[in-house]
Structure 1
Amino acid sequence: MATIHFHGATQQVTGSCHLIESTAIGKVLLDCGMEQGGDDGELYQKQFAFNPQQIDAVILSHAHLDHSGMLPKLVRQGFHGRIYCTHVTKALLEVMLKDAVSIYLHDLERENIRRARQGEGPLQPIIEQTDVQKTLSLCQTYDYLESISIGSAGVLKFRDAGHILGSSIVELTLTERGERKVLVFSGDLGNPDTVLMKAPSAVYHADVLMMESTYGDRDHRNYTNTCSQFAELLDKAKKQGGNVLIPSFAVGRTQELLFHLGCLYHQGKLEGWQVFLDSPMAIAVTEIYDRWAALLDKKAMNHLAKYNYDSLQSFLPNLHLTPDPEQSMALNRIKGGAIIIAGSGMCTGGRIRQHFKHRLWRTDTTVIFVGFQARNSLGRLLVDGIKHVKLFGEQIAVKAQIETLGGFSAHAGKTQLMEWQQHFKDSPKTILVHGEVNALESLAQSLWSDYHVKAMIPHEGELFSF
């Protein structure tokens, strides 16, 4: 008998981490992500509910930090097994983990200066960059659809999840006492309407299906309408004479935005605008997207080819990269006509908070959210209409225009999730993870009423046997 122990992303969107135990594979983690929503300095505080030294392997669905971010801590605490992932996932991991740990160490240094002034001793780092290097050395990379032996009697296969480059649906086949069981973990399923990524692969057979439910309670706005709304918001902001701030995830969302802005540029709809990509991590990731362009959607690539495309940057001629801190700070002196894309996507850290400090109180500023905002994150508070926020010890009035574009989401919407679930021909036990309570309950109810599928919604620490 195999078991699943749910240690993260249960009744919340972040912190994906599930422990699979079976005589076929031993103890294997599906993802090892951090819980996002608070400040960056708190991201590594959560303690593991298991002994990292006893984990035999990690299967990583994709590189986003809410699925991968705790790997350096896992390694620091004694994990030394294999980390199974796709080739692109490892390339993205190197950028993302180094950046996350760098931010953490910078915040720690600042906190220790504060403690020294108060006569307190320094805090020791939970993780360091050497832990990132050890993590990367443990990664074993594979192609989609490659059959991978794992443990004594397990077979692993990655399928394209269509979420970001390298993102995977995990198919794990276990053979115990001659009995074959198939576990499928959706990871994060992509939105088929996005332009750069392929649609999520269909899977037809499973005994147990673990499915994400981020947008289990709603569908996204039509893609064409979203693009029109985006252009209208930029036109409105231009008439106000101010600037546009777009908090964006460095992996996936930023590259989609650059594509859409490039399209608007070639349609003559970006006159008077300059676009600034103000994120060293997003700049590095965009280079990886260009390097692995063969994995992107063919329709998008054919469209880009019309403009002699050789990179996302060349497709958008008024794009400026600002990797250095001095370049980033200089953006605060621009009075109007700037579209500034900066991390982090949920505004829990990164350069976007500095831009908020300088511009959130201005009525001519427009903030456009293009991704999911987790509960308790600064982004979620702004979307929900908060009137004052505290940034860098200072109260800031929120007078900017706050807008949301749901159609650019890299996650499947409710109807798309249900349609993907219906590909399975053998009525697998369906378990809903990676969603807030309302989304989970709404999706479970619709699966039951429409398809007579009874879905389980696990609690943190719950154990499921199959």
Structure 2
Amino acid sequence: MHIKHHGAVNGVTGSCHQLIFNEQSSLLIDCGIFQGEDSNHSPHINFDISTVKALIVTHCHIDHVGRIPYLLAAGFKGPIYTSPASAKLLPLVIEDALKVGVTRNESMIRTCLKLLKQQIVVVPFNTWLKLTPLINDVSIKFKRAGHILGSAYIEVDIGRTPNKHRVVFSGDLGAPYTPLLPTPKPPYKADTLVIESTYGDKNHQGRKERVNVLKNIIERAVSDNGVVLIPAFSIGRTQELLYELEQIISATSKHSLWRKLQVIVDSPMAANFTNEYIHFKDLWDNEAKNRVSKGRHPLDFSQLHTIDTHQEHQALINFLASKRQPAIIIAASGMCSGGRIVNYLERFLEDTTTDVIFVGYQGRGTLGRDIQTYGPRGGYVFINNKKVTINAQIHTISGYSAHADQKGLLRFVTGMKKKPSLIRIVHGDDEAKETLANKYRELLGDKVKIEIGTE
């Protein structure tokens, strides 16, 4: 048994890991697209898939599933195992990815989606699935990862008792006390662990602190009738923000500015995913379920408005530009690498009354990272080949990341009853990976081999 990595080793995008059992059989865990600095990698499948018997999808973010159409085009016909919620979300994500980045040809899109839906196999959480006859003596289990709706980490048991070897792939682990979803629990054991390291060198603000920071930034931001722009991924971050904003609104007096402030989600995709979050309320944590039981609607409140068509999107930009009416705009993409948020940034980044709030990781080489870096210095960025001076106020609230921080990544290992003999670190910038590796060495000593994944 050995593991090859076909992405997410020189950065945080393009997750794709191949678990090879022998010369005849292997599994793929995720098949994501490259973004930011990593986007110079071809999305085409440039490795041999003749031994790949199945694909396991940990969750539906594009950097974990965006290469699936290319995998199907390369001839992959095996099952695609994923959780019930991810099975519902995956066709939506792939359809959007095809339309935005590949083709507008409806026939090609329908063909791809038909193949995808035929190959998806739903696997409930916490249930061992034997892969016989695809692969003998291999079983998989999905465990809740708390990252986004349906997200999982994967346990793979290889061999027979008493010589079973368990490989755990973390996927993306959620942060503790994240709105809506419960904190991931460590597995009982792992012999080999492949773990993400997005925030391997950082710790997040506490939830109470980050809510106060969000509230204070927005109150100051709208005092001059400016717009507040929040780039956010359509799945996960958008729903968490809506949940927190509904709580702030609910906790303020009827005469507060919050009761008049419009919260606008300018993303049809995010609206679709929010409906799925509501549909899968059984996956929510106890706090969220308790709010619903009291008649609250954390993801569907009166001041929330959704923008659908491109015409409505353009009309809203023109309205906000002319009327000087304060509003909170949540739009994709989360790293500003495309999508409707780019149009808002192009129009409003030069205005001193604008505030941009980053609530998630900004990958190297993305517009989001550039704004984060040069905005506080009074710098500029290029948007659609146009030089745009950054006069807006730029804020970063790291506590809203859907990724576990360093403490969470350490706890995932220290919480195991039986520790791994090998930990391989992927999905992070170089400094994050090195810092996390050193922390593991300090905590676990020489008994555990720590490696940083390479292609």
Query: How far has the Cα of 1:331 moved from its partner?
Result: 1.6
Give matches, 1:340-419, under 5 Å.
Answer: 340-386=329-375, 387-419=379-411
The alignment status of 1:421 with 2:410, answered yes or no, reads no
Give the aligned partner of residue 221 of structure 2: 237
Tell me, yes or no, if structure 1 residue 62 matches structure 2 residue 55.
Answer: no
Query: Aligned partners of 2:40, 2:237: CA distance in 1, in Å?
Result: 22
- Indicate the residue corresponding to 1:166 in structure 2: 150
1:456 to 447, 451, 455: 451
The within-5 A match list for 1:134-149 is 134-149=115-130
- Structure 2: how far apart are the matches of 1:249 and 1:330? 22
Q: CA deviation at 1:176?
A: 6.9
**1:95 aligned to which of 92, 96, 107:** 92
**Aligned position for 2:69:** 72
Deviations 1:300-337 (A, max 9, x none): 2202332x135611xx2101111111111112121221
Report the TM-score, using the length of structure 2 for normalisation.
Answer: 0.92
Aligned to 2:19: 20
- Could you tell me whether the CA contact under 8 Å between 1:190 and 1:410 is conserved in 2? yes
Deviation of 1:187 after TM superposition, in Å, equals 0.9
The Cα RMSD (Å) is 2.1
Counterpart in the other structure of 2:113: 132
Amino acid at match of 1:277: V
SS across alignment from 2:416: coil
Distance 1:341 1:292, change over 3 A: same
Residue deviations 1:30-65 (CA, integer Å, cap 9, x gap): 1101111169xx688334331234421111111111
* Residue 309 (1) aligns with residue 296 (2): yes
Give 1:322's aligned amino acid.
Answer: I
Please show how residues 198-237 of structure 1 align to structure 2 within 5 Å: 198-237=182-221
Change (3 A) 1:130 1:62: same
Match of 1:31 in 2: 30
Structure 1 residue 260 and structure 2 residue 220: aligned? no
Of the structure 1 ranges 77-86 and 22-31, higher mean CA displacement relative to structure 2 is found in 22-31
Matched residue SS, 1:56: strand
1:81 and 1:297, CA in 2 relative to 1: closer, same or farther beyond 3 A?
same
Distance 1:295 1:52, change over 3 A: same
Amino acid at match of 2:450: A
- Whether 1:435 aligns to 2:423 is no
Structure 1: distance between partners of 2:59 and 2:402 = 13
Counterpart Cα distance in 1 of 2:298 and 2:40: 33
- Three-state SS of the structure 2 residue aligned to 1:205 is coil
How far did residue 399 of structure 1 move? 1.1
2-side partners of 1:133 and 1:361: how far apart? 45
Relative to 1, partners in 2 of residues 1:215 and 1:166: Cα closer, same or farther, differing over 3 Å? same
User: Where do 5+ consecutive residues of structure 1 fail to align?
Assistant: 110-124, 461-466
Amino acid at match of 1:31: D
1:318 to 303, 311, 314: 303
User: Would you say the 8 A contact 1:53–1:80 is kept in 2?
Assistant: no
Question: How far does the alpha carbon of each residue in 1:67-104 deviate from its partner, in whole angstroms, 9 at most, with x for none?
Answer: 11101110011100011100101111111111111112
Query: Which blocks of at least 5 consecutive residues in structure 2 are unaligned?
Result: none
Distance 2:160 2:35 in 1: 36
SS of residue paired to 1:193: coil
Whole-Å Cα distance in 1 between the matches of residues 259 and 62 of structure 2? 36
Change (3 A) 1:162 1:327: same
Partner of 1:464: none
SS at match of 1:237: helix
User: What residue in structure 2 maps to residue 118 of structure 1?
Assistant: none
Match of 2:314 in 1: 329
Cα contact 1:53–1:77 (8 A) shared by 2? no
Deviation at 1:214, TM superposition (A): 0.7
CA deviations on 1:206-227 (whole Å, 9 max, x unpaired) are 1101111110001001110100
CA drift of 1:147 comes to 1.2
CA shift for structure 1 position 427: 3.0
Task: State the partner residue of 1:122.
Answer: none
Where does residue 6 of structure 1 map in the other structure? Answer: 5
CA contact (8 A) 2:44 2:70 kept: no
1:444 corresponds to 2:437: yes
Q: Does 1:276 align with 2:264?
A: yes
- How many positions carry a matched residue from both structures? 437
Indicate yes or no: 2:273 matched with 1:285.
yes
Q: d(CA) in 2 for partners of 1:11 and 1:219? A: 21
**CA–CA separation in structure 2 for the residues paired with 1:180 and 1:397:** 59
Residue 178 of structure 1: how far off its partner (Å)? 7.7
Check whether the contact 2:291–2:298 (CA below 8 A) recurs between aligned residues: no
Distance 1:284 1:273 in 2: 23
Structure 1 residues 408 and 370 mapped into 2: Cα distance closer, same or farther (>3 Å)?
same
Q: Distance in 2 between matches of 1:27 and 1:54?
A: 6
> Which whole-Å CA distance do the structure 1 matches of 2:187 and 2:113 have between them?
33
Q: State the alpha-carbon separation in 1 of the partners of residues 449 and 140 from structure 2.
A: 26
1:271 shift after superposition:
3.3
Report the CA distance between 1:133 and its aligned residue: 2.8
State, as a whole percentage, how many aligned pairs show the same letter.
35
Question: Cα 1:11–1:176, aligned 2, differ >3 Å: closer, same or farther?
Answer: farther
Q: Equivalents in 2 of 1:38, 1:168: separation in Å? A: 27
Paired AA for residue 36 in structure 1: Q
What's the CA shift for 1:295?
Answer: 0.7
Q: Which amino acid in 1 is paired with 2:121?
A: Q
